[in-house]
Structures are given as C-alpha cells and as structure tokens.
C-alpha cells in the first residue's frame, strides 16, 4: 500500500473526531449527526487498519515529518489496532445511545455532550498510536481534560466535587509521570519506547508507573474513580469506565512489555496492587447502595485483573497471559459500557438508582435487566463471554508458570463479581410501577454492547491467536 494512503489511514482516527469536536459546537442543528458521522468514519478507519495490517511489522507515520528519537512517531501494531477498534465500537454505540437517550432524559445535556466526547475519543486514539513516552504524556493530558469536562457536565455539586478530585489526582499523576520521562531522557537520550528498550532506569520506570496508576485508578490510587464516574451522565460514565481508565493500563503494558522486560520485583508489586484492587474493589462494590457506584467500584476491581498480566507474562509474550489480558480489557470495556448505559436507563425510568428499590425493572424494562445480567456474565468471567475466555488464558498462564496464587485471585474475584451482580438482578424482580417507561431503542443499544461482550467469548479464537503471534 502506498505511503500516502497509509498516512491518511493512521491519521483519520485522531483527525476525524478532533475536527468534528471543533465544528460541532458551531452548528445549530445536526450536532449529533455530525458527531455520529465522524464516529462512523473512525470505525471504518479502524477496520481498514485491521484489514491492511502487515503481520510482519507495524504501520508507522512520522507526524509532521519529525523522526525519532525526538519526533512524533505513530504506529499501528495489532495491540494499537485492537484498542482502536474496540474503543471505536464502544464509543460509536455510546454516541448513538446519547443521541437517542439524552434529548428525552436530560435535554439540557443533549447539545453539550458532543465536544468533550469527541475530544476524548480523539485523544484516546492518539494515545493508542503514540510510540514515545512524551507524546503519550501529551495525549494523556488531553484525555484527562476531556474526561474531566465529561464529569462536570451535570453541573451539580456532587459532579463538580468528583471532577475536581479527578483533576487534582490526574494532574499529580501527570507530574510524577513527567518526572519519570525526564529521568528516562536524561539516562538514555531518547523518548522512544522501542529505542529505550532494556535501558530504562528503575527510578524512571517507578515514577512513570506510579503516575499512570493514579491516572488509571489502579489500586491503591483508585479513590477518585467511583465518585467521578458515578457523577457523569450515562454516556460519559460508560466511556470513562469502559475505555478511558484502560488507557493508563495500555501505556503500562507498552512500558513494561517493550521497554522494561526484565524487571521482576516490580511486576510482582504491580500484581499485588492488582490483587488489592480485585478484593477491595469488589468488597466496596458489594456494600454500595447505588447502582452507578456499584458499577464504578466493579471497574476498580476489574482493572486489578489486568495488572496480574505483569508477572504472568514473564518469559513469553506469546504465552496466554498477554492475549488474555488484552482480551479481558476489550470484553470488560464492552460489558462495562453496557452496564453504565443500562444504569442510565434505570436512572431515567425510576428517577434514582438505589439498588434496594429496583423492583419492577424485570417486568417493565426487561431488556435493560437482561443487559445488566449479560454484562454481569462477563464480569464474573463465566461462559459464554469474552471475560471467560480471558480468564481461562490468565488462569492457564498462572498454573502454567507455577504461580497458582494469582489463580486464586482470579477465581475469588469471579465469585465476588457474582455476588454483586446478582444482588442487582435479584433486586429487579417483583411487581412495581416505574416512574417513567423508558424508550426501547436506547435499551437495545446497551443490550447490543452486552451481547458483543458475550460474542467476544465465542469468536475469540482468531484474534487471540493473532495477538499471541504478534506479541511485542
């Protein structure tokens, strides 16, 4: 394929939402249409990238003609494309949901959602494509600003509080990360991940990791996530919980996989944090009284699983652990977005999201109830779901490398997820009238995402094989 076309294809996922985000606020009507058109363009570009992917090497683009070690290098390897594509599917569905749901449920928000949502999407895609630590820093900052904007949209005191905490933690995280970047540059003279491979100083690695953990709400730096995610409007929460927090994990993965392959103690420490996240996040999810908070704490817990990949993937990236972790991130993204959208419907239908008072949902909004249940299957890691496939791979890696302790964490986490999921489902049974009968179309969109999370457990063989083959 010619270079020019390739460059356009690489630039499109970033440029399209960015451009739309700039134009949409200027439009008086047709805002949602413009946003959706840009979104559809991103999905198409991601699919094309996947289709023309060269299995032997990643497609690259030196933005503005700047080349490494100090330039802006974008590259689309399979890991990046996987995240691009899953984010595109989730974001487009969420955008459709917003276009259908918000005008009726929260008319005041309907017009104001698009700009932050599109900026967020653009920043995410830029992050996936970036290949050096400083560009990653820039995209992370853009991402944070867009995310904070999303949280503040509701404008209530609670939302502003949540957003403020998020902003402060994220800025602190960025500072620490940037310090790490400076150390890395000082020691190696490059910011490019591939060029710095194997030569990253321990202090730089530690600082960057801590900064990313704060950004990604990874235990024990997760405290800001639940209030922020629960306060955002449903489409916002869905994107934040499903994809935004995983961007930090994505960078961690690249950092530890590519740049620092031999750091053992640190890997154990990361997985220990993951264990804390699984146990503590699940326990807190169990005790929540509000649905959105429960779902948000479940995100804290599920992010913990991802950290287990670091010790489990030791020695062989082509082993099951790496593919499993990526697949878990993808499936969890689909399921979590479905859950938050469903929670939005619940909010709208009942006027609140108190778990003890969900009665009547099973009768009057069965699709939403089923969505919560199906998404729950992925969270529990039970078949048939992407979560199960991923868990099977991670468990295989745990037993295969003799680290059965991490297997216990995976199994215990699944049980805890079952307890909090079924708590919600059990509460929905029984006869009671709803405050408002929710519309059908948005409910089916959330259902589609939950179904996609299940399908990820049925059509996983090919992508998993390719992920293993193309492991960095």
Partner 1 sequence: MTLQGALPLAILGSSLLPGLIIFFLAEPHRRGRTWLNMAGAVIKVLLVAGALLGVYHGATFEVAVPLVPDYPLLLRLDPLALLFVSLSAVLWLLTTVYAVGYLEGSPNRSRFFGFFSLCVSATVGIAMAGNLFTLFFFYEVLTLSTYPLVVHRETEQSLRAGRIYLAYVMTGSAVLLGAVVWLHALAGPFEFAVSGGAVDHLDAEHRPALLAIFLLMVGGFGVKAALVPMHRWLPAAMVAPAPVSALLHAVAVVKAGAFGIARTVYDVFGAELAHDLGGTTVLAAVAGFTIIYGSLRALQQDDLKRRLAYSTVSQLSYIVLGVSLVGPLATIGGLVHLVHQGIMKITLFFAAGNLAETLHLHKVSELDGVGRRMPWTMAAFTVAAFGMMSAPPLAGFVSEWFLGLGALEGDAPWALAVLLASSLLNAAYFLPVVYRGWFRPRRGPWHENLPRHRLETHPWLLLPPVITAGMVIALGLFAASVWSPLTWVRLIAAQEYPL
Question: CB of residue 304 vs partner 1: minimum separation in angstroms?
Answer: 17
Q: Does 294 bind partner 1 (CB under 8 A)?
A: no
Question: CB of residue 313 vs partner 1: minimum separation in angstroms?
Answer: 15
Question: CB of residue 253 vs partner 1: minimum separation in angstroms?
Answer: 20
Question: CB of residue 275 vs partner 1: minimum separation in angstroms?
Answer: 16
Nearer to partner 1, 123 or 372 (CB): 372
Nearer to partner 1, 74 or 420 (CB): 420
* Contact residues for 301 (Cβ-Cβ < 8 A; gap 6+): 277, 278, 279, 280, 281, 282, 285, 413, 416, 417
Of 83-91, 201-209, 255-263, 458-466, which segment contacts partner 1 by CB under 8 A?
458-466
Of 23-31, 51-59, 144-152, 382-390, which segment contacts partner 1 by CB under 8 A?
382-390
Binding partner 1 (rule: CB under 8 A), the pick from 89, 213, 231, 460 is 460
Question: CB of residue 360 vs partner 1: minimum separation in angstroms?
Answer: 11
Binding partner 1 (rule: CB under 8 A), the pick from 42, 148, 325, 395 is 395
Q: Does 366 bind partner 1 (CB under 8 A)?
A: yes
Q: Does 396 bind partner 1 (CB under 8 A)?
A: yes
Binding partner 1 (rule: CB under 8 A), the pick from 189, 202, 220, 383 is 383
Binding partner 1 (rule: CB under 8 A), the pick from 412, 434, 439, 455 is 412
Q: Which residue has the tokens 């030569």?
A: 199
* Torsion angle (degrees, nearest 10) of CA 20, 25, 31, 33: 0
Cα–Cα distance measured from residue 224 to residue 396, given in angstroms and rounded to the nearest whole number = 33
Cβ-based burial of 118 (10 A; exposed 0-12, middle 13-18, buried ≥19): buried
Nearer to partner 1, 56 or 431 (CB): 431
* Residues in region 316-345 near partner 1 by CB under 8 A: 320, 323
Q: Does 3 bind partner 1 (CB under 8 A)?
A: no
Cα–Cα distance measured from residue 231 to residue 321, given in angstroms and rounded to the nearest whole number = 34
Beta-bridge partners for 252:
none
Binding partner 1 (rule: CB under 8 A), the pick from 69, 71, 223, 400 is 400
Question: CB of residue 461 vs partner 1: minimum separation in angstroms?
Answer: 4
Binding partner 1 (rule: CB under 8 A), the pick from 142, 293, 309, 393 is 393
Binding partner 1 (rule: CB under 8 A), the pick from 52, 415, 435, 437 is 415
> Please, how many CA atoms are within 13 Å of residue 287, restricted to the half-sphere of its CB?
5
Tokens of 428: 């929905």
Q: Does 418 bind partner 1 (CB under 8 A)?
A: yes
x/- site string to partner 1, residues 168 to 187, per CB under 8 A?
--------------------
Question: CB of residue 288 vs partner 1: minimum separation in angstroms?
Answer: 18
x/- site string to partner 1, residues 250 to 269, per CB under 8 A?
--------------------
Question: CB of residue 408 vs partner 1: minimum separation in angstroms?
Answer: 8
Question: CB of residue 472 vs partner 1: minimum separation in angstroms?
Answer: 18
Residues contributing to the site for partner 1 (CB under 8 A): 320, 323, 362-363, 366, 377, 382-384, 388-389, 391-393, 395-396, 398-400, 404, 407-408, 411-412, 414-415, 418, 422, 426, 429-431, 457-458, 460-462, 464-465, 468
């Amino acid at each position: 394929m010619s270079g020019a076309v390739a460059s356009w294809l690489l630039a499109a996922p970033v440029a399209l939402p960015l451009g739309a985000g700039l134009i949409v606020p200027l439009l008086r009507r047709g805002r949602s249409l413009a946003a959706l058109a840009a979104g559809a363009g991103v999905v198409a570009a991601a699919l094309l990238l996947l289709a023309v992917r060269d299995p032997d090497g990643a497609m690259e683009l030196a933005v503005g003609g700047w080349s490494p070690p100090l330039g802006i290098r974008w590259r689309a390897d399979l890991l990046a494309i996987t995240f691009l594509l899953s984010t595109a599917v989730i974001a487009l569905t969420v955008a459709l949901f917003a276009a259908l749901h918000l005008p009726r449920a929260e008319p005041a928000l309907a017009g104001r959602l698009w700009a932050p949502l599109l900026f967020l999407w653009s920043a995410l895609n830029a992050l996936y494509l970036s290949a050096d630590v400083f560009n990653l820093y820039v995209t992370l900052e853009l991402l944070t600003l867009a995310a904070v904007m999303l949280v503040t949209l509701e404008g209530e005191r609670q939302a502003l509080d949540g957003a403020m905490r998020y902003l402060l933690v994220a800025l602190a995280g960025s500072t620490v990360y940037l310090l790490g970047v400076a150390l890395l540059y000082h020691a190696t003279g490059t910011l490019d991940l591939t060029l710095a491979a194997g030569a990253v100083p321990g202090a730089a690695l530690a600082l960057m990791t801590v900064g990313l953990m704060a950004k990604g709400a990874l235990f024990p730096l997760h405290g800001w996530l639940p209030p922020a995610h629960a306060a955002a409007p449903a489409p916002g929460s869905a994107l934040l919980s499903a994809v935004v927090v995983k961007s930090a994990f994505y960078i961690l993965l690249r950092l530890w996989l590519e740049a620092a392959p031999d750091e053992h103690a640190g890997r154990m420490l990361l997985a220990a944090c993951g264990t804390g996240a699984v146990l503590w996040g699940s326990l807190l999810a169990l005790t929540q009284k509000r649905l959105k908070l429960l779902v948000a704490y479940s995100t804290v817990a599920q992010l913990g699983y991802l950290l287990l990949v670091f010790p489990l993937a030791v020695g062989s990236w082509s082993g099951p652990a790496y593919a499993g972790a990526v697949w878990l991130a993808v499936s969890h993204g689909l399921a979590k977005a479905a859950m938050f959208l469903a929670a939005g419907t619940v909010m709208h239908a009942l006027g609140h999201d108190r778990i003890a008072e969900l009665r009547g949902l099973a009768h009057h909004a069965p699709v939403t109830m089923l969505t919560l249940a199906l998404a729950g299957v992925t969270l529990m890691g039970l078949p048939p779901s992407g979560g199960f496939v991923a868990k099977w791979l991670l468990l295989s890696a745990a037993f295969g490398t003799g680290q059965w302790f991490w297997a216990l964490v995976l199994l215990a986490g699944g049980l805890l997820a079952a307890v909090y999921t079924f708590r919600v489902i059990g509460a929905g049974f029984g006869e009671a009238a709803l405050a408002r009968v929710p519309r059908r179309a948005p409910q089916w969109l959330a259902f589609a995402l939950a179904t996609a999370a299940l399908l990820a457990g049925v059509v996983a063989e090919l992508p998993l094989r390719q992920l293993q083959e193309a492991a960095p």
